[in-house]
Amino acid sequence: MDMKNELEKYITSHIDNESEVLRELNRYTNINILRPRMLSGHIQGQILKMFCRMIDPVNILEIGTFTGYSAISMAEGLSDPDAHIDTIEVNDELKPVIEKFISKAGFQNKITLHIGNALSIIPNLNKEFELVFIDADKRQYPEYYRAVFPMVRKGGYILADNIFWNGKVIEPVDENDEYTKGILEFNRIVKEDDRVEKVILPFRDGLFLIRKK
């Protein structure tokens, strides 16, 4: 028996269903978009939604939109009527898909999509965030962290996805593997940063939960 698969089925059958629009986006992405595995998916989407319920943030920043699954999941968990998500995606080919599904979800006023490199866009956002979700280029995780840190409110959270990088963080590192090196460097920086409290959620590919003191 494939324990991991069976447990995943068990989990998905005991948590809230995906909304209709998220289910459709999940299916659409898997059929039409390259590298669909990048999408958060049912379980992680519901985790992000629950974090939004718990933190009750007003301003959220997402780095790495892909087709919009995590942004829409988080938007579904927002309670404050003024709550807003800025999400950044470098691949302009994804823009029509993201916009279509944000509209379908009815979140065109809640989610602002920025197309471009996060490192160029972040300094111009001029906002303070209660929640930042880092999920873009693994090589740039340390730079995203440094760029967003001053913009995170005290008591605010940074969540970073894929911090196990498929288990590569505990294997010998290939000299040319800039992705694993980026994640390792990020994990080290967070560990050594005494301005934050941190814990790792060992779910899926590892989610770092970081709280600015």
Q: Which residues bind ligand SAM (CB under 6 A)?
A: 38-40, 63-64, 66, 69-70, 88-91, 117-119, 135-137, 140
CB 161 to ligand SAM: min, Å: 7
Residues 45 and 66: their CA atoms lie apart, in Å, by 13
- Specify the DSSP element, H or E, that contains 72: helix 69-76
Instruction: State which residue, 69 or 208, has the beta carbon closest to ligand SAM.
Output: 69
CB 74 to ligand SAM: min, Å: 10
Instruction: State which residue, 16 or 82, has the beta carbon closest to ligand SAM.
Output: 16
CB burial class (10 A; 0-12, 13-18, 19+) of residue 8? middle
CB 75 to ligand SAM: min, Å: 13
Which residue do the tokens 């992680």 mark? Answer: 44
Instruction: State which residue, 40 or 194, has the beta carbon closest to ligand SAM.
Output: 40
Instruction: State which residue, 57 or 64, has the beta carbon closest to ligand SAM.
Output: 64
Which residue do the tokens 């010998």 mark? Answer: 172
Angle formed at CA 169 by CA 165 and CA 174, multiple of 5 degrees: 95
CB 165 to ligand SAM: min, Å: 12
- Phi/psi zone of residue 10: left (φ > 0), alpha (ψ -120 to 50 degrees), beta? alpha
